[in-house]
Structure formats: C-alpha cells, structure tokens
Amino acid sequence: MNLEYLVCSLGPSAKQNIAKLIELGPKFLHCQSVEIFTDQTGSTSPEADSETIVEPYGHSHKSLVVRTSNTSPDAGRLAAYKNLLNQQETRIRDVERMSSLKKYTKALFESCPDGILVTDESGYILDANRAMVMLTRMSREKLMGLRASKLTNAKGRSQVMKAIRYLKTNNRARFDCRIRFGSGNGVPTSISIRDFVFQGQGLLLATIRDLSYLEEEVNQCKTYEKSLSRSITNATDAFIRYDQFGRITEANPYTEVLTGHLVEHLVGKPVDDLLSNSSLKAFRKSVAQLQKTGYSTFFCEIAKPDGTKIPSRAALMQLEHEGEVFCRLFLQDLRSLSAEQG
C-alpha cells in the first residue's frame, strides 16, 4: 500500500479518518498493529522496546504505539503516517474551537445590553438580539424579514437613508432617532451602523442604544428648574444672580422690595452696589472663602436708595452650568426675623 492510496481513502470526517488510518496502519507501515494511547489517570503508558515504537502524537496527551514483528517501519513512511494523523487531529481541534467560538459569540450577541440588528443590503432584518426584542416589544419571529426602517418614523427613515449613503465612503455612520412600538412616541435611541461582508454577502450591522434614561433626566431637570424658578419668584427673600465679573444678571421680584431698586435697573450693575460701605469688607472676605468651598455666609447691611440700611444675613453660592460660572447671592431681612422671634 502506497501513500497515495492511503490519502485517497480519507473522507470528510476527521474522526472517521483517524479510525481509517488506524485500520490501514499495519498494511501501510508493514507492522503488526497500530493504536493510539491516551494518557489518563491510573493508566499505564506502553514502554518502547525492540518490538514496540512509542512516539508523541499530536498536541495532546496521546502517543502513537506501533507494534512491529521483525523489522522496524520505514522512517519516511512512519513520518508521513504521523503527519496524516496530526492533520486529522488539527481538524478536530479546529472544529471544536469553532463550535466553542460560535457559542461564545452567540452568548455575547444575546447578552449585549444594546439592541443589535443584522440586515441585508436592502434593510430587511436577518437577525436580532434579546435587547432588540425588549426594545421594540416585538418577538424575534416578527422582527425577522421586517424592513428595519419600519421601526421608526418618517424623520428616522430619512436619517437611516442618509446614514446608508454615508457608509459608501465611511466605515461607520451614527445618528439619533426614535424606535417605535405600539401607538406611542417610541423610545429615543442612538444608532451606529456599519457594513460588512459575510460568506460573500453584504450585510449591515446596527447597534441601538436606549436613551430613555437621558430623556427622563432631562425632563426631571426641566421640572426641577421650573419648580425652582417658581420658588425663587414667589420667595420672600432676595435671590440675585451675578456673573464672574460681579455684574448682576438676574434678580427675583422680592429683591426690589428689599433693596428699593427696580429689578430691570439692577441688571448689569455691580452686585456690591447693593451693600453699605461698612459691609464691603465682609462681602469680599466671603467671596474669597467662596473660591475654596463654593459656599459662604456673612452678615451685612443693604443700602437702599433713600439711605436706609437694612441688616441682613447673606449667603453666597458659586455654580457652574454648561461651562458658565456664576454666583447666587441670597439676602434675608433680619428685621422681619427679629419681629417673628419677638
């Protein structure tokens, strides 16, 4: 039996090929028997002697055991035989590795917190992960074959088409739109799309991130701002906002009652113009403290246009919003406080 015959006897199954090689081994090597020994706990490995050849086999804990009769096998034939066995073992390991990789990839696909869609070049959905099912409130079966653009409104569809055109000259496109479900407004999302080729077919991969939590935070901030604005407007204490240069930019209605200055006349004026000369030192000391802590308090006198001085408790806060640094000055009339305590 020659090597060509041995090779031609092999088929597509690596495991069956190994069994075939073991079966044909004695004829090809001109020996008594061929077997593969696998090292296991408690098993005794065959020992090489004048009639037994034991050689490491493959990359695992295995040995090729060749039992001879009178003469040893030809070294070239033995090397070629081992090479064929190693090729089949490598194929088995590759298949097992790919099977494991598929399971790992599938687990990643399904456990990704963002929605994932795979579509063909026409935008028909071929696959979707669990997060996408939850986001759209549609079963995977209903998603399959659906055109992805039907998951959004007219504005979103326009953005999808624009993103696909952008992909012709770029690796990735990103846009924001709402994913619809039921009859509601849908979910605000951020979508990233890229194209790729798999098994010769052009595909699109889209990852969809749910931005509902950001919308909720924005709505909460708006509600808080409206509530705060109403509270400041209706407050019976003065609330004054001034910029980093010390110029008044905003004041609530009670500021006019307390200081005697019209609110519209205060805007643009230095905030320390509201205080008496004797209060300026305490104000500046409080401003210096503000740089360290972001908050400070002091006692002062408000100087009204008619010369009246009103004892007050003041609080300063330094704030930052969208890159703008500003301060808030809170003034409380101590006369009314004393009257209440009396």
For residue 272, give both structure tokens.
């320390």
Which segment of 207-221, 282-296, 302-316, 322-336 scores lowest on mean pLDDT?
A: 207-221
DSSP assignment string, 179-241: EP-TTS--EEEEEEEEEEEETTEEEEEEEEEE-HHHHHHHHHHHHHHHHHHHHHHH-SSEEEE
Give the contacts of 332 (CB within 8 A, at least 6 positions apart).
Answer: 237, 238, 312, 313, 314
**Is there a contact between 68 and 51 (Cβ–Cβ < 8 Å)?**
yes
pLDDT-above-70 percentage for the chain: 88
DSSP assignment string, 266-286: HTTSBGGGGB-GGGHHHHHHH
Give residue 342's pLDDT band: very low, low, confident or very high (50, 70, 90).
very low
For residue 22, give both structure tokens.
């073991």
Q: What is the pTM of this model?
A: 0.45
**Is there a contact between 86 and 57 (Cβ–Cβ < 8 Å)?**
yes
Instruction: Residue 124: count other Cβ atoms within 10 Å of its Cβ.
Output: 14
DSSP code, position 148: G
Instruction: Residue 200: count other Cβ atoms within 10 Å of its Cβ.
Output: 5
pLDDT at 153: 85
Domain boundaries defined on the chain: 3-109, 112-214, 235-341
CATH number of 3-109: 3.30.450
Beta bridge partners of 125: 119
| Residue range 223-265, pLDDT digits in tens | 555 655 566 677 778 899 999 889 999 898 889 989 999 988 9
| Residue range 299-318, pLDDT digits in tens | 999 999 999 999 999 999 88
pLDDT-above-90 percentage for the chain: 24
Give residue 341's pLDDT band: very low, low, confident or very high (50, 70, 90).
very low
Q: Choose which CATH entry (3.30.450.20, 3.40.50.300, 3.10.150.10, 3.40.50.720) describes domain 112-214.
A: 3.30.450.20
pLDDT at 43: 62
> 112-214 and 235-341 share one CATH topology?
yes
pLDDT at 92: 84
| 208, pLDDT greater than 70 | yes
| 291, pLDDT greater than 50 | yes
**Where are the extended beta strands (E) located within 123-198?**
125-128, 173-179, 187-198
**Is there a contact between 331 and 286 (Cβ–Cβ < 8 Å)?**
no
Q: Specify the CATH architecture of the domain 235-341.
A: 2-Layer Sandwich (3.30)
pLDDT at 154: 87
